[in-house]
Chain A
Amino acid sequence: MTSAGKRIVIPPRVTIPIGPQHPALKEPGMFKLTVEGEHIVDAEVNIGYNHRSIEKISENNTHLQNLYLASRICGICSATHNGNYAQAVEFAAEVEIPERAKFIRTLIWELDRIHSHILWLGVAFHEVGFDTAFMLSWRDREIVMDMLENISGNRIHHDMSTIGGVRRNISDAQKEQMLKGFDKLEERVVFYRDVAIHEKTFWNRIDGVGMLEPPIAKKTSAVGPTGRGSGLKVDVRFNDPVQAYIPMIDTGDFEMVLSDRGDVAGRSVVRVLEVIEAINMCRWLLNNMPDGPIRARVRPRIQPNEVLARHEAPRGELIHYLITNGTNKPDRWKVRAPTYNNWTSMAHCLRGDYLADAPIILAAIDPCYSCTDRVVIVDGNGETIRLVSLDNLRIESNKWHKEHPRRE
């Protein structure tokens, strides 16, 4: 009572780092959370721990070798990078690939989406401590993994697409086996959908958490299930279809899965329903697959061209920008993976929520760290890591390009 005025008690602000190494993150990334008690008041997203200079390596490789390099950008969505690079080279060479190859490529993409989304569901269960559903959902993910292994000969790096088509055909026996597998898978996915929606402890953790309002989602250019969970109509499969998506979407049997919830629950529901949709798409693709060759011959030297290949990866829109120069090597290859777009919305999602919600919010955009890391300047002598702003980067890169003119 001695001091004049009111005393305002504020809990001390503490900065809690999540990462670079943290049990909630499967890959290195850093999130500095400023918390007051359990409330997050500020969040800072630092990435850049996993730069592998893949784009630089690609300039010394042939297009054929780059296919395998592209598939190893990310383990989970390897088919999308692989297929999208093949598509980009085909666009540049201006060749049309056989119908059956288109169908098989699309089938692999959809299978990849199924396994990626079930994997995400398991991770989401794990992030809120629901280990049983995590174990069970990953057990049932094996069904689709076995399918992919059966078709392509490898569990993770399918490498099915090649320039001018696909590498392996699908036999009738495999088709029957897959159709049988889809029935089981659909039953299981419906069960996990029910668990996610009706299990109170899980639903309480995702309901109303990490709100991303549609205007902010649009402003931060959220893509994929993150955007669709906020009601944005962003899906390259429907907006700008390629390959066998064109006849498939034209049937009108398939719809874009949207949710207007905008929270983590919305994103979860979008992903789970998308799995069911993808299973139906796979069924359609298998049943309507035309006969014919699976591969067109493409000359290794690609004419000079500049193309942009878009594809809906499991995490969102994936862009491969390719400049070819008449040799069998790319002049420039730029990958913009979907997670890179979704980072920006993350800081907004984190603010105002509980510290305990941070892992599930981080996981909700299904981050793929190794796809996204681009620019970080590491000074080996001073042992410092410097993040560079876009303007500075532009100035520095202009300077670099002036000193190193493009080879003709």
Chain B
Amino acid sequence: MQTALDATIQLLAQALAVFVFPGILFITFLALLWQWIDRKVYARLQNRFGPLHTGWRGILQPLMDFVKLLGKEDLTPKAADRRSFAAVPVVMLVLSLVSAMFLPIIDMDPGTSGVQGILSFEGDLVFLLFMSTLMAITIVLAGYFSSNRYGQTGSARTGMLLISFEIPLVLALVTPALLTGSLRLSIITHELSKLSPAYIWLMIIPFIIYVISLQAELERIPFDVSHAEVEIVHGWQVEFSGKKLAMINLAEDIMLVFGAGMVTALFLGGPLLLEFIPIPLFSVEFAGFMATTWVGWVYYTLVFIFKSSLVIIVLSNMRTAFARWRIDQIVRAAWKFMVPLAIINLVLVQIALTYIFPILGVV
């Protein structure tokens, strides 16, 4: 009887974790919050106000947009493949949610060292890369399923983006994995936080490459060729309307959460902030207190939100400062500049690890 009760409570707690707190509901909340921050920063840099009237300074505007789109007419073009067309938004939403569940927001498994996400296993970094590529392929399919010329052009451009910016993205992620000797997101975060500050110098170039590639992966200016509104009328999204468009928009926002969360976890030290102060009070006692008690849940979440929103601000600033590049210019920039930079960076990291750091005596 007792075991059955325990099992039920365990199950409930896990369901709560998946559906409510660090899971679906919380990620959706973050997605809408990030969209608000993005819009506010974008507007502020352009000397405008941005959303104002729904909630406190328009903080509920993304939610309102989502709800409004849910109530709009849902059209399927005659020429489209009906089932695949209807499946695309769902697939995108599921893919993005599953990816976001790997983020180490709070410690779901206190037994293991490091902050674990809801889902976490050895080699999940590779799995996440696979998921983000799958997302791009879904986008390609979305354009072709809609049987629209603009959509097909958008799909072709997404494919071009995929082959150009996926490679620097992957190569940038090799450096943290190389430094820690692990492919597990939580372990990488945990190990990186214990390394000496000298390793920061090795992380700067991969960080820049990753942020730029992330911008391309999320298809934002200057890389938003695949849904350039004035050229091909939102590209692959052109035929989606109503609920489907709402789901696609939400999926894109969740990908933003995922991307910013990856930057936070891999390059900015994850949900740890005060632990980096080299005083035993913080680095030992405070860290231990946070890792074992429920206060850690609040603290880790707040730190994660803080760091991710910094990343969002950087991404919004990039979106503001540039014009849209043409697809051939993007491919050229990627292959002539980003990929060589990523490879050179890898070589540098290897040289530093093998020759320079031992001489300098960095542990």
Contact = CB atoms under 8 A, between A and B. Distances in A.
Touch between chains A and B, by CB atoms below 8 Å: yes
Decide if the interface of chain A is mainly helix, strand, loop or mixed.
helix
Interface in A117-147: 125-133, 135-136, 139
Count chain A CB atoms within 10 A of each CB in B152, B230, B328 and give the residue with the most: B230
B246 to A, nearest CB: 21
B221 A129 contact: yes
A130 B323 CA distance: 4
B153 A16 contact: yes
A201 B222 CA distance: 8
A132 B45 contact: yes
B228 interface: yes
Contacts of B323: 125, 128-130, 133, 199, 201-202, 205
B230 A355 contact: no
B46 A24 contact: no
A357 interface: yes
Contacts of A24: 230-231
A201 B231 contact: no
B67 to A, nearest CB: 25
A15 B153 CA distance: 12
Contact of A130 (B48, B324, B326): B324
B210 interface: no
A22 interface: yes
Given A14-B149, A16-B153, A24-B231, A135 B47 contact: yes
B105 interface: no
A388 B233 CA distance: 31
15 contacts: A14-B149, A14-B152, A16-B149, A16-B150, A38-B328, A128-B324, A132-B45, A132-B46, A136-B47, A199-B323, A205-B325, A355-B153, A356-B326, A357-B326, A359-B231
Interface string A8-30: 00000011100000111000000
A354 interface: yes
Given A24-B230, A132-B320, A357-B326, 7 more contacts: A23-B229, A38-B153, A38-B328, A125-B323, A129-B224, A205-B323, A355-B231
A356 B225 contact: yes
A37 interface: yes
A128 B329 CA distance: 13
Contact of A22 (B152, B233, B321, B329): B233
Interface in A281-334: none
A204 interface: yes
A263 to B, nearest CB: 14
A133 to B, nearest CB: 8
Given A130-B323, A201-B324, A205-B324, A356 B231 contact: yes
Interface string B139-175: 0000000000110110010000000000000000000
A133 B228 CA distance: 17
> Most chain-A Cβ atoms within 10 A of its Cβ — which of B225, B231, B321?
B231
Interface in B176-234: 221-222, 224-225, 228-233
Contacts of A201: 222, 322-325
A101 interface: no
Interface in B1-50: 45-48
Interface in B324-358: 324-329
Contacts of A234: none
A154 to B, nearest CB: 25
Contacts of B46: 131-132, 135-136
Contacts of B152: 14
A222 interface: no
Interface in A1-57: 14-16, 22-24, 37-38
Interface in B303-325: 320-325
Nearest to B231: A356
A128 B150 CA distance: 17
A394 B325 CA distance: 46
Nearest to A359: B230
A355 B45 CA distance: 30
A199 B224 CA distance: 18
Contact of A205 (B221, B232, B326): B326
Given A135-B46, A356-B231, A358-B231, A204 B149 contact: no
B47 A129 contact: no
B76 to A, nearest CB: 21
Contact of A132 (B149, B321, B325): B321
